[in-house]
Every structure is written in C-alpha cells, then in structure tokens.
Amino acid sequence: MCGIVGYIGSKDAVNVVFKGLEKLEYRGYDSAGIAALCENEICIRRSVGKLANLKKNLLANHIHSNTAIGHTRWATHGKPSEENAHPHTDSQNNIVIVHNGIIENYIELKNDLHKEGRLFKSETDTEVLAHLIERYYDGDLFCAVQKTLSKVRGSYALCVLCKHEPDKIICARKEVPLILGIGTGENFIASDIPALLPYTRDMVFLENGDIAQVNREKIAISDILGKEVQREKKHILWDALQAEKDGYKHFMLKEIFEQPRSVEDTFRGRIYPNEGKVYIEEIKLSAAELKKISKIYIVACGTSYHAGLTAKFWFEKFAKIPTEVEIASEFRYREPILDKNVLVLVISQSGETADTLAALRLAKENNCQTIAVCNSIGSSMSRESANTIYTHCGPEIGVASTKAFTGQLCALYILALDFAEKKGTLCESESCKYIVQLWEIPLKISAILKKSEYILKIAKELAHKKTFLFLGRHLNYSAALEGALKLKEISYLHAEGYAAGEMKHGPIALIDENMPIIAIAVKSRVYEKIISNIEEAKARGGAVIAIVNDCCKEVEEKFSKTICIPESDDIISPMLTIIPLQLLAYYISTILGCDVDQPRNLAKSVTVE
Ligand code: M6R
C-alpha cells in the first residue's frame, strides 16, 4: 500500500527516486509524485495513474536536484486525483511530505488545523501531517516531526523535506516498513529492498517508533522521545537482477518460471534425503516445548491463507498436532482461546500485511509460541515473531503471488517434518520418503512448465467465458481456491473455488454449458471420489478441463481437455497442481489484455486493515 523513496547525495536525485518508485510500483499505482529541493525552493511533479504518466511529466519539466522524495499511491483517503497525489505540502510550501499508512485521527486533527486558519488542498489524511509539522516548526525539522508524530494515531512510513534545512531528510516509521540504504557520501530511503539494490546492499530496517535524520554523510536514529538508538546494519544478498523482468513479458510469468529454483533455494541446506533428516536452524522451539503444543493456529490472508490450508494436513499428519487455519482479518477480531501451549504460525510473503501482523501481536500478548513464514527479509513479522523461517524466493513483484506460494508450501512442509522429527511421530523411513518427495519437486515443476504452450492453447479456448468453477478435494481443495483467486485477481473474471464433494449441496445448480470446470483430479486417496464429482458436473453440461497425472491417461476421454502433470505422493501434490492453474490464469489475463502485474484495485502489500 503505497511506496516511498528518498535520496540525498550527489546524484540526480529525481532520477534515483523515480527509478526506486519503478521498483515499488507494485505497492500502488493510482498516482505518483516527486518533490525535490531546487535552489532553496521545493519543486513538485505529480501525475494521476501509473508512473509512466509521471515520467512524461518529468521529461517535460525536469528538476535538477540532489535531494528528493517520491511516492506511488494506493488510494485510501480521497480518490485518485492530482490534488490527492503525494507529495503534500504545508500552507507556505516550505515543508513537503510523502506518507504510506493511515492517520486514524486525521479528522479531529484537521478540524483543529482548520480552526487555526490552515487551508487544505487535498482530501487525504496525509496533508494533516504537513500542516502539523508547519505548526511545530521553529527552525528544527526533526523536533517538528517528533512533536507531530506524538499527536497522531495510526500507521506511517514517511519522508519529510524542508526548504530551510536542505541538507537533510527526516523519516519515520510505525507499523509499515521503511528501510535506510547506506551509501558513501549519499543515503537512500525506501519502503522495500528492491528500490535500494541498484545502489547499496547495506541496509538498516527502522523499528516501530523510530525517527531518523538522514544526511549525505550520516544517519542518526532516535525513538519517539528523541533518545538516540542504534539499529544493526544488514547486508542484503538478494541479486538486483531478481527484481528485473529478465526478458519475460511480465514479472508474473518470470516468477512462475522461477519456481524450480525458488523451491530448491527454500529447501537447500534444510533437507537431507539420504539421512531422512530436516534441519531448520532458525527454529528455537525445543522438542520439550513442542511436545507441550496442544494446538496450532495458522493465520494468514489471500494466497498465504491458501498455503496454510494445505499445511494443516502436514501438521496433523506428520506431527499429530491439531491445526486450525484462519483468515487474519477474522481471527484478530474474535476471541480465540490462546495460551502458552498454542502455537500461532503466521504466513506472509511481505511480512507486513496489517491483519496478519495484528494476529501475530495478539498471539504474543497471550504468551503463545510464534513462528512467521516470510519472504521479505527484515519485515515486521520476521522481527516481531519469536521464530522466522524465510522462504528464499527473492523479490516477488507481480501482484499475483506465485513463487511465494510454492515457497511457503515448501517451508511449511519442512517445518511439519521438523516437528515430526522432534516429537518422534514419524519413523525414519516415512521421513525419508516425504523428504525425497520434496527433493523431486523442482524437476517436476520444470516438466510442467514445458507444457506452457499447450496451456496457452487451452487459455485461448476459455478466455471468452465469463465464469469458472475450480474443483478440488482433500489437499487440492486449497489449490482449487488458489487457482480461482489467481484467475479473478488478474482477469477480473468470476471464478469460484469449491470442494468438489460439496458441490451437490448447492453450487451444482450454477453449472451449464457456459461454465467451464477446472478440476484437479490427480492420483490420491480421494481420486475415485473426485472423478465421480466431475462426472456429476459434466452431466450438467459443463466442459471439464482436468489436471491429471501422466499415468492416468485412461481417464482422458472423460474430460474435454486434460493437463497431465508428473505423479507425486498426494500429500505434496498441491506444489504441482497449482503450476498449470497459475499459467492458465496468466494466459487468460494476457489474452484479455489485462494488466497482469498490476491488476486494478490491488496492491502487493496490504498494510492497511
Ligand atoms: O504479503 P502477504 O502474503 O501477507 O499477502 C497476503 C495477500 O494480500 C496476498 O497473498 C494476495 O492475496 C495476493 N495478491 C494473491 O495473489
């Protein structure tokens, strides 16, 4: 939800900030803007819509400066318009700010500021911050920002410039991420790592309540009360090229094709098929503590929630721990029964999703054991959770999550095996068998990716349909939900994921010849059952496209089309069945001319409730 970038140094600041915004556009693309200090004045360029519009604006009206801040917006308060685009200024145009987050008490603050005669130019909550800083400014920008933040409730990552103090950018964070990039004679600020990678790998992750003064030569960080604090500098090993499209038409396609590597990177050094052992260095939960765990709550949103639904089977089957999976926005507002013997496992690609983060905090308040499965290094969840397992997927830029999903499945599978090993609930030969199954996944994914041309052909036949039903059972029920989510979010087509056995209790009434059915019918303990469910659907006229195993060719004539995938133990099959569904959604979206990487109304990282 919104991306911000800041730069101070000797480079062309507007160019650095713009290039950083390009790496953050996945966070929002309703409008974008840049403010720079130029001959003791603040110059601003803002444009509605994507960054391409701001680029045109900047080409026509370039600003020469060594200090700039920028923003790409996902609208919360106020429609996407130039007036509501960041940066926002105070009434005298002396102070300028970019902000990601929500100021919850902005109406009350705005009313007070109105009474003081301050005029507002936008409908945003952010503008109150600019006016408050102006109110408190008496020659010290840092103090004015500090006083302002003591008055606000809500979440923020922000950068502030003042024309009277051109040698600094003041920035601060609470609840949403902000990272400082450390250079030589220059420093950088950004919402996420990819914006900084072309310039530096040395980064400082600000903590909640931190306020930083960033000059060319140094940074100084204080807490909200102004007490200096030290934050560790981290060296980030991510490859800058991973955040590029690398010849692919879209990030999503590149990320789908990266999955053999991202899964392997996630399990490398953690599984040992010859010994039948798993090793997760990051988990500090001892065998004794684990044996006391009476229940696992897996809490997540969207695709990460679907990964959790799959993982439930693994924690129950391998580690014999009762597991419930909940949508974070529901979990946080009910009264779950939590105590020190409950493990709350949050899953999040970004590690910043507001509802999931709130669920994690609720768990900590109730003394639960906590584990986060995250992809983004240094994210809030990874810092706040007692244990973190990273998926080693590299940056995921496409708004539709693909490689993060299979990376999460991989990490969760290993975690469940680790629990089983510690609890002694699986014998060595079983562990070995399951580890080998995971070991073989990258090769099997590669084999499926080779069928992309064939899946494109199927997509061409389906793209004109308006509504789709995705069916799965058992472990592949969650894959059906995930396949439907992929299609709806990037193609704007109605798609429903359903447990195949539940169809006859209502949804079967929807089926006619206009509703294609995408069915997952790979070999499993419920194979015969799902074949019967598909027959029931087919009898109502629906064309059935089935994901089947190579060895199940005998069922091919039952379906309008089949996509054959390599066989695996059904326990791990969602890591394979999801691949053709990702490709199908991708191709349908491109055929319809939709914006695959930046679908309407969405943003990659949902840092607001
Ligand atoms: O960063 P997170 O994994 O916490 O994000 C959760 C969801 O917002 C995310 O998975 C979303 O559903 C994706 N757009 C799905 O492709």
Query: Would you tell me how many other CB atoms lie within 10 Å of the CB of residue 463?
Result: 15
- Tokens for 369, please give them: 């054991």
Nearest atom in ligand 1 to 404's CA: 3
pLDDT in tens, 510-562: 888 889 999 999 988 888 888 888 888 788 777 899 999 976 666 767 788 89
Ligand 1 pocket member 204 (CB < 6 A):
no
Give the active site residues. Answer: 2, 604
Distance (Å) from CA 300 to ligand 1 centroid: 9
pLDDT in tens, 164-174: 999 999 999 99
pLDDT at 40: 84
Kindly list the domain boundaries of the chain, sorted by start residue: 3-242, 251-439, 448-591
Tell me the CA–centroid distance for residue 608 and ligand 1, in Å. Answer: 13
Cα 472 to ligand 1 centroid, rounded to whole Å: 21
Per CATH, the homologous superfamily of domain 448-591 is Glucose-6-phosphate isomerase like protein; domain 1 (3.40.50.10490)
For tokens 């102006």, name the residue.
134
pLDDT tens profile 567-576: 999 999 999 9
- For the stretch 29-83, pLDDT in tens is 789 999 999 888 999 999 999 899 999 999 999 899 999 999 998 877 888 888 9
Q: pLDDT tens-digit profile of 384-407?
A: 999 999 998 888 889 999 999 999
Query: With a 6 A CB cut-off, is 376 part of the ligand 1 pocket?
Result: no
Query: What predicted TM-score, i.e. pTM, was given to this entire model?
Result: 0.79
Measured CA to CA in angstroms, residue 247 lies from 142, 192, 259, 393 at distances of 44, 23, 16, 19
Which SS3 state, helix, strand or coil, does residue 221 take?
strand
At residue 307, the pLDDT reads 98
353 CA distance to ligand 1 middle (Å): 8
Structure-token match 């109605």, residue found? 494
CB of 588 shorter than 6 A to ligand 1: no
Residues 6+ apart with CB under 8 A from 57: 45, 46, 47
Output the CA–CA distances (angstroms, integers) from residue 428 to 279, 318, 415, 432, in the order listed: 14, 12, 16, 6
- Please, what is the Cα angle at 65 between 62 and 66, to 5 degrees? 145
Return the residue whose CA atom lies nearest to atom 2 of ligand 1. Answer: 348
Kindly state if the Cβ of 375 falls inside 6 Å of ligand 1: no
Cα-to-chain-centroid distance, residue 359: 16
Distance (Å) of CA 295 to CA 278, 315, 321, 493:
22, 10, 6, 38
Q: Are strands 187-190 and 41-48 parallel, antiparallel or unpaired?
A: unpaired
What token pair was written down for 48? 């509605």
Assess whether pLDDT exceeds 90 at residue 102: no
**Token reading at 420:** 């089983």
State residue 73 phi and psi, 5-degree precision.
-105, 140
353 lines ligand 1 (CB under 6 A): yes
Closest Cα to residue 554, out of 587, 537, 531? 531
Query: How many angstroms does the Cα of residue 304 sit away from the middle of ligand 1?
Result: 6
pLDDT band at 134 (very low <50, low <70, confident <90, very high): very high
Helix pair angle (141-151, 127-136), 10° resolution: 120
Q: Which of 495, 484, 470, 434 is nearest to 547 (CA)?
A: 470
Q: Distance, CA 295 to ligand 1 centroid (Å)?
A: 25
Crossing angle for the helix pair 403-423 and 428-439, to the nearest 10 degrees: 170
Please tell me if the CB atom of residue 524 comes closer than 6 angstroms to any atom of ligand 1. no
Is the Cβ atom of 577 under 6 angstroms away from ligand 1?
Answer: no
CB atoms closer than 10 angstroms to residue 337: 8
Percent of the chain predicted with pLDDT > 70? 98
Least trusted range by pLDDT, from 11-15, 105-109, 197-201, 548-552: 548-552
Query: In sequence order, what are the residues at sequence separation of 6 or more whose Cβ sits closer than 8 angstroms to the Cβ of residue 298?
Result: 308, 311, 312, 315, 323, 324, 325, 326, 345, 346, 347
pLDDT digits (tens, 9 = 90+) for 319-365: 999 999 999 999 988 889 999 999 999 999 999 999 999 999 999 99
Domains 251-439 and 448-591 share a fold: yes
pLDDT of residue 295: 98
Ligand 1, atom 7, lies closest to the CA of 302
- The CA-atom distances, in angstroms, between 541 and each of 111, 207, 535 are 60, 57, 10
CA dist 194 → 129, 231, 232, 389 (Å): 27, 20, 19, 20
How far from chain centre, in Å, is Cα 296? 23
Which atom belonging to ligand 1 lies closest to the Cα atom of 353? 4
Q: Whose CA is nearest to atom 11 of ligand 1?
A: 302
Q: How many Å lie between the centroid of ligand 1 and the Cα of residue 405?
A: 9
The per-residue b/e assignment along 179-189, b for 16 or more CB within 10 angstroms, e otherwise, is bbbbbeebbbb
What topology is assigned to 251-439 in CATH? Rossmann fold (3.40.50)
pLDDT tens digits, residue range 415-466? 999 999 999 999 989 999 999 999 999 999 999 999 999 999 999 999 999 9
CB of residue 391 inside a 6 A radius of ligand 1: no
Model confidence at 604, pLDDT cuts 50, 70, 90, reads: confident
Nearest protein Cα to ligand 1, atom 9? 302
Cα distance between residue 352 and residue 7, in whole Å: 23
pLDDT tens sequence across 251-288: 999 999 999 999 999 999 899 988 889 999 889 899 99
Which helix (H) or strand (E) is 36 found in, with range?
strand 31-38
pLDDT band at residue 186 under the 50/70/90 scheme: very high
Structure tokens at 449: 């990716």
| Cis before 87 (ω within 30) | yes
Nearest partner of 405 among 377, 375, 440, judged by Cα: 375
Spatial CA neighbour of 240 closest among 20, 489, 60: 20
Q: In angstroms, rounded to a whole number, what is the distance separating the alpha carbons of residues 282 and 415?
A: 11
Question: Tokens 């062309």 — which residue?
Answer: 12
The response to whether residue 401 sits with its C-beta less than 6 Å from ligand 1 reads yes
Do the Cβ atoms of 607 and 352 come closer than 8 Å? Answer: yes
CA of 53 to the centre of ligand 1 (A): 27
Contacts with 227 (C-beta within 8 Å, 6 or more apart), sequence order: none
* Nearest one of 226, 129, 215 to 166, comparing CA atoms: 215
Mean pLDDT over residues 90-94, rounded? 94
CA angle 354, 355, 358 (to 5 degrees): 85
Average pLDDT value for the chain: 92
Whole-number Å distance between alpha carbons of 273 and 281: 17
Distance separating alpha carbons of residues 461 and 588, to the nearest angstrom: 9
Tell me: pLDDT of 242 over 70. Answer: no
Judge whether 549 and 523 are in contact, CB under 8 Å: yes
The answer to whether the CB of 355 is under 6 A from ligand 1 is no
Please state the atom number of ligand 1 nearest to the C-alpha of residue 604: 14
Fold of 3-242: Glutamine Phosphoribosylpyrophosphate, subunit 1, domain 1 (3.60.20)
Ligand 1 pocket, residue 350 CB under 6 Å: yes
> 337-340: long-range contacts at Cβ-Cβ below 8 A with a sequence spacing of 24 or more?
338/297, 338/362, 338/363, 338/366, 338/367, 338/368, 339/366, 339/367, 339/368, 340/367, 340/368, 340/369
- Mean pLDDT, residues 492-504: 91
293 Cβ partners below 8 Å, 6+ apart? 321, 341, 342, 343, 369
Which residue among 299, 606, 609 is best mutated to probe the pocket of ligand 1, counting the most ligand atoms within 8 A of its Cβ?
606
Residues 6+ apart with CB under 8 A from 127: 88, 110, 120, 121
Show the tokens assigned to 405: 């999903």
Over range 6-29, report the average pLDDT.
92
